[in-house]
Structure 1
Amino acid sequence: MTHTFLVEIGLEEIPAHVVTPSAQQLTERVSSFLREKRLSFENIETFSTPRRLAVKVLNLADQQANIEEEAKGPAKKIAQDAEGNWSKAAIGFSRGQGMTPDDIFFKELKGVEYAYVNKFIAGKKAFEVLSDIKTAITSMVFPTMMRWGSNDFKFVRPLKWIVALLDDEVIPFNILDVKTANISQGHRFLGKSVTLKNAADYPEALLPEYVIADSQVRKNLIVQQIKDMATKNDWQIIVDDDLLEEVNNLVEYPTVFAGNFDYKYLEIPDEVLITSMKDHQRFFYVQDKAGKLLPNFVSVRNGVADNIDTVIAGNEKVLTARLEDAAFFFHEDQKNSIADYVEHLKKVMFHDKIGTTFEKMQRVQLLSELLANYLEFDEEHKSDLKRAAQIYKFDLVTGMVGEFSELQGVMGEKYALLMGEKAEVATAIKEHYMPISAEGELPKTAVGALLAVADKLDSISAFFAAEMIPTGSNDPYALRRQAAGIARIVMAQGWSLSAVQLFEIVEKNATKNPELYQKIMPNETETEVTSFIVERIKKILEAQNYNFDVIETVTAERKNGFKEMIDAAEILKNHSGDEDFKETVEATTRVLRLAKKADLPADFKLNSELFENNAEKVFSSKVAEIERKSFYNAEEIFQQLRTMRSVISAYFDETMVMAKDENIRNNRLQQLSLYAEFAYKLGDLTKLNVK
């Protein structure tokens, strides 16, 4: 015999972004509870609306599974004395299992006899067990939690009702003063209370009261209504998945409707109109078949179509007010020049421990020049980069960005074009913010990419120098995202840049322009900054499912480029199945471990006159041959390591590296160090697991 079990938690309206994860959490907690309590079931269905979280458990077992197992106790020598009398340990063990010493028997385990009892626990009825389901609810956690009244209990929103039904029986428990019942509630304005005769009736019993409890059914209905409206009007309605999810979690009974705004507002950049509709009002925007924005919007009402004209008029009025503000700012902003806005940035603090936004722009401009020289940008790109770096934050003090902060960079591009800047400069202004999320879009232009790297590098080095370093989950200035952005951009552009090189450029900039680094001189932060950036490379590799030892190997050398680290990980992964992979790695690591013992001056010169055997000469000749080639990719490096395996073997067969003679010993350590320097281009292979 199996049952259907329903739990529904009724609440004040939950924030839209919390609804779906909360419903999933409830499902997971109920599932864990049932498994922990040994109540088997076939499936759990999940339901959610802004006012309720619910699960329905299908084919739930009638009772817990019985437990039959052997419980292990103390060793026999502890359980009995020499005369065979039971010890306190044995008596306590048997009592703890609900038995007596007479139930004890002995079994040998790894040469030692232990006391055991056969333990049997009869399963309880599901109805009895489910009264503890309260713990699955009260243990839930949310991004923001509330207390109400004089209670200490916290939840996402105040509880209004709880349904707990095993078929047609109410499972009795209460949370605060809310007791379980078989009564749910319909739509806040259109429905009334619903008495559920059986758990199996859910969610169909709520439909007459204008509640669609299944979020996927609700979402499908919204999508279909939007499609029907688009077909009827010959429109393209852009359905953003995140917006659809949010709107779906704002309603219990969706009705899609369309509204209009005046054509005159189409002179405002599309991005402003879309932001006003999508981000501020949760409207879907509308295009014609050619992709041109139309003066229409689509939204979703929480209810039926009655009096929809009034709803449309109200939404049109709210949107028009926002668009009127946008139009005002758009025209007013153009009355000032870019130079005016840049001058104003001298009074805008980036951070009180770091300085003004204008000072940041000056540092970034100089950093950009150094990076452009290092990467051998042509003169046109350098000129575009210089101009972009001089002005790239100007839109922060425009009225439009003050009202619509989401449009920083976007409006910078728009205004720059309107004020006569080159398209390449305008694009770089927009792209320097990219990526704006972990997997966000990257800059497409080289100028925009380099400006983005310089800006993020300046932020990271400045905050570290000001001793505002992210700790744990605390990262108020999004420095981890910026470090990941640097790594992703550099790799996407194919630039050979490392964390060490980037920091050295910051140091060089600070040395040449100390007046810009008065509060944030890099000084002793190299290890922290470079390690922080390399940690983001590790996260990128983890997301690509590379083994931990491979990740640690390729990221150990912070002077290696980001792209080279990724390439090295792929090469090690690809060759890990080769027959000679283990031997190649072990030969190389033998060199690396000895080379780490070398403590030689930077200007130490190898002396071939101190070679005592042919193997030394061959080894040194091969290393010199490798050094003559200025660049190797990861595959070529690995092939060189493979080729050197026999040379290394012969070297160690004939050569005692740690010779008693200090000059000979240091000379040999220098030999190994020169080869190790090459091998480290692939990473620190001593960290690789080849067992």
Structure 2
Amino acid sequence: MSNFLLEVGTEELPADFVSSAIAQWQNKISQSLSEVFLTPSDIKIYGTPRRLAILITDLPSQQSDRTEEIKGPPAKAAFKDGQPTKAALGFARKQEVAVEDLEIRDTPKGEFVFVYKQIQGRAAAEILQELCPQWITGLEGKRFMRWGDGDLRFPRPIRWLVALLDDAILPVKLVNGSETIESDRLSRGHRVLHPQPVSIPHATAYLETMQSAYIEVDPDIRQQKIISEIEAEANKVKGTADVFPDLLQEVVNLVEYPTAITGKFKDNFLSLPTEVITTVMVTHQRYFPVKQDISQDTLLPYFITISNGDPAKREIISEGNQRVIQARLADAQFFYKADCDEHLETYLPQLETVTFQEDLGTMRDKVDRIMEIASSIAEQLDLSEAERSEIESTALLCKADLVTQMVYEFPELQGVMGEKYALVSGESETVARGIFEHYLPRGAEDIMPATLNGQVVAIADKLDTLVSIFGLEMIPTGSSDPFALRRAANGIVAIIWEANLDLNLALLIRQGATDFLAAHPERSSPVAAIQEFFMQRLRTLLQDEKNIDYDLVNAVLGDADAEYTERALNDLLDVRDRATFLQQIRDNGKLDEIYETVNRSARLAVKGKVAMGEGKLERFSPISDRRDLDTQALDPQKLVNPDLFESPSEAAFYERLLELVPKTQAAQEQRNYQLLVDSLAEIAPIVSSFFDGEESVLIMAENPDVRRNRLNLLGLLRNHARVLADFGAIVKN
């Protein structure tokens, strides 16, 4: 068994690439070794700003000999009249075997030529020489660069390579134009504390050797050290550090020998909003704020920074950091005072100078559209005049802070400063909070708007972006989503679900598209594309966020089913409730009691004439555009002729369907689908008797009227069940 070390030394790498590279190698290296029949006992991946490293322990020194079965051309192409053709000769030559060694074997796709080869195991050293350049150049990421006169691409120039197989240097080369980087046992220590080259005697001595050169290559150990030192520094000033996970992850990959250092700023800066001070520290300086108590927002005039320098120079480092933060906070204090001198509404005209999108006008134009959509939402929700007035004010002012000095300098504070400035301007707390919340949810965060103002304006803002960008046919493809439309659609659905807002999204989409086309008559309607986009989002959210089985999601949303699409977007709460309910009755076994009956009926009903699903849906509210069940698609009196019954089972089936109509209608009106499932369970024995009992009937009777009558019974049962879901999409457990 052997041990192998590969270290790639570079100029300072971006912090996010270090994390990404470690994750990529963790996934790929084990797989690539397995593919070449080398399985070590352990693989460790390390990374710092100046190096990425792989340490493989107990690696077989050589592959085992093995026999491989190799499939060749079809037998008909390989042999003609018992003689080998060019195809057989070429295959044998390629595999370095005699034609006589070829075998013909039968496969599900016909007869093929095969050969069995004895493969002698190769030395691990030889294989590693081939794999190392692939591992290095196979890394993916953003902002790769070239240097020198070569075409080698990496986030930063590669300066050295260490490749050791046990205590011997394994020759590995990277060619970059006229420059060749060759492996050695020489690494480099800390830039300040150990600038001399470091000789690594053995692969397994890597960690110990680098630690002696003031390099901690293990990011987990660096993180533990950082956390421990931050806590110790915060205790010195009788506070608690606010350790943001993203900042911690970034800092871990910015240092090779971390030292926590405390700094102080003037007390008068504490009069600034906490969010401003925190943004200056965390986003711009990568400092950790110190609070009196982690559960409160009361800051102390201290910060903690993680240095990669000489710990003996901590006082000098602290003084330098203090000068920087003082200057940044002084700027913020000036911006804050200047902004507060104006009412938030006075910034609205300046929004006309900010472009939202070239073909969509300014941010002021967007505000007008947000107000229009917010008004439609308020109308659907039947809000009071007071509520509508506050929503209107929130929508009007929601983007005003974008042109304030503070947000211009610190864009991360948009919405945050809008809330602060609204309060200073005398707006109500509800309006102010709504301005902040209309940006929620932000990114991967799952914090939702808590106020009605925030919920309505957030939906309006996101929906305007979706309708406008889709109207320009700038639809997201693959990973490209520059306007974050997926996040916007997810946010709309999440807010509606979280707040239980009884909204008709389909109507809002149509209204938004109508307004868009009025302003852009040369464009095509984006409605169909937006609907499909939301259906994709719903599938993802139901499966990933609500943990609904994929087939139950399909049963609720249908497959390119226009009726189910319309129903879903008319009532997102109903979609959520039906999907959740289906998962519940699957888990408790109730679904099994009705599955066979409904599914068998649905399969046969396809041969009948009864309209599938809920039938034609009729509008009943000009505001919400809700749709009622068409009773003709459910009522046996409209579609079944009792005079054609030839068996008591048909009459019993018919009577139960009559009883089912009001229960189905009540189930949907009350969203009480347990009522429907219980009713379907009650009718199941009757339907089973109709199919297979002593009084069973032949569904496909010779008499066309009788046949149609029986198929109509099944079609009606399917339609009742379809009020809950398309049972044909459900996979039996």
TM-score by length of 1: 0.89
Q: Could you tell me which amino acid in structure 1 is paired with residue 96 of structure 2?
A: G
Equivalent in the alignment of 1:623:
661
CA shift, 1:642, in A, is: 3.6
Q: Does structure 1 retain, via aligned residues, the 8 Å contact 2:68–2:118? A: yes
Q: Could you tell me which amino acid in structure 1 is paired with residue 160 of structure 2?
A: W
Are residues 101 and 210 of structure 1, via their aligned partners in 2, closer, same or farther at CA, if it must alter by over 3 Å? same
2:189 paired with 1:186: yes
Q: Could you tell me which amino acid in structure 2 is paired with residue 550 of structure 1?
A: L
Equivalent in the alignment of 1:582:
595
Identify the match of residue 248 of structure 2 among 240, 244, 249: 244
Q: Could you tell me which amino acid in structure 1 is paired with residue 217 of structure 2?
A: A
Are residues 293 and 522 of structure 1, via their aligned partners in 2, closer, same or farther at CA, if it must alter by over 3 Å? farther
Q: What does 1:61-76 correspond to in 2, within 5 Å?
A: 61-71=60-70
Structure-2 separation of matches of 1:592 and 1:404? 63
Q: Does structure 1 retain, via aligned residues, the 8 Å contact 2:660–2:679? A: no
- Tell me the alpha carbon deviations over residues 471-524 of structure 1, each in whole angstroms, 9 at most, x when there is no partner: 22221111110000001111111224454243245368x4xxx8x952389973
CA shift, 1:385, in A, is: 1.8
Are residues 87 and 232 of structure 1, via their aligned partners in 2, closer, same or farther at CA, if it must alter by over 3 Å? same
Q: Could you tell me which amino acid in structure 2 is paired with residue 7 of structure 1?
A: L
Q: Does structure 2 retain, via aligned residues, the 8 Å contact 1:588–1:641? A: no
Q: Does structure 1 retain, via aligned residues, the 8 Å contact 2:602–2:715? A: no
Are residues 520 and 180 of structure 1, via their aligned partners in 2, closer, same or farther at CA, if it must alter by over 3 Å? farther
Equivalent in the alignment of 1:121:
119
Equivalent in the alignment of 2:96:
98
CA shift, 1:362, in A, is: 2.5
Equivalent in the alignment of 2:626:
none
Q: What does 1:72-471 correspond to in 2, within 5 Å?
A: 91-103=89-101, 117-133=115-131, 134-176=133-175, 177-191=180-194, 192-289=196-293, 291=296, 292-471=298-477
Q: Does structure 1 retain, via aligned residues, the 8 Å contact 2:664–2:676? A: no
Aligned to 2:63, what secondary structure does the other structure show? coil
Q: Could you tell me which amino acid in structure 2 is paired with residue 535 of structure 1?
A: Q
2:41 paired with 1:42: yes
CA shift, 1:412, in A, is: 0.7
More moved, 635-644 vs 84-93 = 84-93
Q: Could you tell me which amino acid in structure 2 is paired with residue 130 of structure 1?
A: L
- Tell me the alpha carbon deviations over residues 157-213 of structure 1, each in whole angstroms, 9 at most, x when there is no partner: 111000111001111121021001111111123221011111111021112222111
Are residues 91 and 229 of structure 1, via their aligned partners in 2, closer, same or farther at CA, if it must alter by over 3 Å? same
Structure-2 separation of matches of 1:689 and 1:620? 29
Identify the match of residue 557 of structure 2 among 555, 558, 562: 555
CA shift, 1:536, in A, is: 1.2
**Which blocks of at least 5 consecutive residues in structure 2 are unaligned?**
559-563, 619-629, 643-650
Structure-2 separation of matches of 1:327 and 1:88? 83
Task: Count matched residues.
Answer: 682
CA shift, 1:86, in A, is: 5.8
Equivalent in the alignment of 1:532:
533
Q: Percent identity of the aligned residues? A: 34
- Tell me the alpha carbon deviations over residues 616-650 of structure 1, each in whole angstroms, 9 at most, x when there is no partner: 56535532553356222343343344445456675
Are residues 128 and 542 of structure 1, via their aligned partners in 2, closer, same or farther at CA, if it must alter by over 3 Å? same
Are residues 112 and 422 of structure 1, via their aligned partners in 2, closer, same or farther at CA, if it must alter by over 3 Å? closer
Structure-1 separation of matches of 2:462 and 2:478? 20
**Which blocks of at least 5 consecutive residues in structure 1 are unaligned?**
none
Q: Could you tell me which amino acid in structure 2 is paired with residue 149 of structure 1?
A: G
Identify the match of residue 678 of structure 2 among 631, 635, 639: 639
Q: What does 1:586-625 correspond to in 2, within 5 Å?
A: 586-587=599-600, 589-590=602-603, 593=606, 594=608, 595-596=610-611, 606=632, 608=637, 611-613=640-642, 614=651, 619-620=657-658, 622-625=660-663
More moved, 354-363 vs 161-170 = 354-363
Aligned to 1:474, what secondary structure does the other structure show? coil
Are residues 605 and 112 of structure 1, via their aligned partners in 2, closer, same or farther at CA, if it must alter by over 3 Å? closer
Aligned to 2:275, what secondary structure does the other structure show? helix
Are residues 322 and 637 of structure 1, via their aligned partners in 2, closer, same or farther at CA, if it must alter by over 3 Å? farther
Q: Does structure 1 retain, via aligned residues, the 8 Å contact 2:78–2:85? A: yes
Equivalent in the alignment of 1:684:
726
Structure-1 separation of matches of 2:252 and 2:240? 20
Q: Does structure 2 retain, via aligned residues, the 8 Å contact 1:47–1:214? A: yes
Q: Could you tell me which amino acid in structure 2 is paired with residue 569 of structure 1?
A: A
- Tell me the alpha carbon deviations over residues 446-489 of structure 1, each in whole angstroms, 9 at most, x when there is no partner: 22112211211122112222322222222111111000000111
CA shift, 1:147, in A, is: 0.8
Structure-2 separation of matches of 1:605 and 1:167? 80
CA shift, 1:397, in A, is: 1.4
Q: Does structure 2 retain, via aligned residues, the 8 Å contact 1:623–1:674? A: no
Q: Does structure 2 retain, via aligned residues, the 8 Å contact 1:286–1:296? A: yes
Q: Does structure 2 retain, via aligned residues, the 8 Å contact 1:554–1:568? A: yes
Aligned to 1:306, what secondary structure does the other structure show? helix
Equivalent in the alignment of 1:567:
577
CA shift, 1:417, in A, is: 1.0
Q: Does structure 2 retain, via aligned residues, the 8 Å contact 1:330–1:400? A: yes
CA shift, 1:400, in A, is: 0.8
